[in-house]
Amino acid sequence: MKHRRHFDAIVVGAGPAGSTAAMVMAQKGLNVVLIERGEYPGAKNVSGGALYDTQLLERLYPDFYREAAVERHISRRILGFMSPEHLMTMDFRCDHFSKAPYSGFTVIRPKLDRWLAQKAAEAGVLLITDTVVDGLIKEDGRVTGVYTRCPEGELYANVVIAADGVNSLLAKQAGLQRTFHAHEMSLGVKEIIELDRSRIDERFQLNANEGAAYEIVGSVTGDVNGGAFLYTNGSSVSIGVITQLSSLVEKKEKAYEFLEKFKQHRAIRPLIRGGIVKEYSAHLIPEGGWEMFPRLYAPGLLVAGDAVGFVLVTGYYLHGMNYAMASGEAAAKTVVSASLVGDYSASSLARYETFLDEHNILKEFKKFRRTPHFLNNERVQNVYPDMICRTAEHIFKCKGRKEKLWRQISSVIKQSPVTWANVLRDLYEGGRAIGW
């Protein structure tokens, strides 16, 4: 009879969710294996940018900012509205953000993922890389392991945690995750452009290890729903655009062309001049929020990270990695709790939602459940950014008759494809979605 290799838990996917889950379980004495399909953790991951929620990071990884593979601490946040000729920004700086434990960091995911997996290995996790998981093993209606392409072939465990990304094979096989709709998914394309640290500091007005994060909407993606970002790393910048998949297909546009257009905008070109493109990548991002969440557990199985869709986009919040790590911790605590009583049924693993609620994760996504629909309103995406820019131009041009602000705004609205009724309705819907 073939020997069955058995673990307390199998984690599939060595991203922030998977590595965090594996580490927390190993710290509690469980025998854990972490399986990654790439040659090394992060090899298949092309996302990255900003990592927030330092309280979570400090709890999971004490002195995180001193030893983790982070690039810069974010001390400057820029939210922008772009037209072909303009860029209107809200530029926020804060001295508190430049002091430990900091507010957030810019990161490059391959570096961060390797560091997180290393912390898991140091806690006693068996890390298996360059290995594909082909599916779930089920016995008597419960998940009991996975089929892999490693020499052992089949690995068994009390619980499997699916942290295998946005198109989770395991969640789909278990019947937990439906096929996502195109309007719930976005395509991000990104370049990493190498620049001297001194140039970055000078151009972005930064000191020491400070970093800047730009998030911009408007003409950068034409008639396609989406936006753009720019983050400063240690000696490079991450620059890219994110476009709603359904809108991209409908308009028959190419995301990389928007990226080139963004790089050539008069407000962006001077920031990256002289840089060398070192990497180009593309990545699907789940942005449907609450409405796209799968069921989170089944007998012997939990789902975490992007496999759930834990990405929160509100216009002023753009969070994902922190939620992934929090979900990994919650999944780990659920498995530890189940192991104490030897019960891995669905009713036992339902405690996962309780642990998620300790960090208000589900409540936060439910609170912003209307946000994805509102942000993909064509007026919010394509009309209002241009109107904001033109209003600013009217105010600051200092020519002709001077009008009060209200008249300036009214004049721009009269020249735009919107009515006051549209504006008032969108203000109301915006308030419900992101404001109150």
pLDDT at position 127, please?
96
- What is the DSSP secondary-structure string of 24-91? HHHHTT--EEEE-SSSSTTTT---EEEEE-HHHHHHHSTTHHHHS-EEEEEEEEEEEEE-SS-EEEEE
Amino acid letter for position 147 = Y
* Mean pLDDT, residues 79-101 taken together: 88
pLDDT tens digit string along 196-242? 999 999 999 999 899 999 999 988 898 899 999 999 999 999 999 99
pLDDT tens digit string along 254-290? 999 999 999 999 999 999 999 999 988 888 888 888 8
Which residue in the block uniquely carries the two structure tokens 């405690």? Answer: 351
> What average pLDDT is seen over the chain?
90
* Mean pLDDT, residues 353-382 taken together: 88
Using 50, 70 and 90 to split pLDDT, how confident is the model at 1? very low
How many angstroms separate the first and last alpha carbons of the chain?
A: 62
* Mean pLDDT, residues 367-389 taken together: 88
pLDDT tens digit string along 332-355? 999 999 999 999 999 999 999 999
pLDDT tens digit string along 49-63? 888 887 788 888 888
- What is the DSSP secondary-structure string of 365-416? HHHTTTHHHHHT-HIIIIIHHHHHHHHHHHHHS--SS---HHHHHHHHHHTT
Domain residue limits, the chain: 5-44+107-177+290-368, 372-435
Strand segments (E) across 178-235: 185-194, 210-218, 226-232
CATH topology of domain 5-44+107-177+290-368: FAD/NAD(P)-binding domain (3.50.50)
Q: What are phi and psi of 419, to 5 degrees?
A: -115, 170
Pairing of strands 48-52, 104-108: antiparallel
Please give the Cα distance from 148 to 5 (Å, whole number). Answer: 12
pLDDT for 47 beyond 60: no
Q: Looking at the whole model, is its pTM more than 0.85?
A: yes
Contact (Cβ atoms closer than 8 angstroms) between residue 335 and residue 25: yes
Task: Give the DSSP letter of residue 432.
Answer: I
Distance of CA 23 to the CA centre of its chain: 21
pLDDT at position 281, please?
85
Of 38-47, 96-105, 267-276, 321-330, give the lowest mean pLDDT range. Answer: 38-47
Contacts of 329 by beta carbon, 8 Å cutoff, 6+ apart: 20, 21, 24, 56, 60, 355
Which residue in the block uniquely carries the two structure tokens 């203000």? Answer: 427
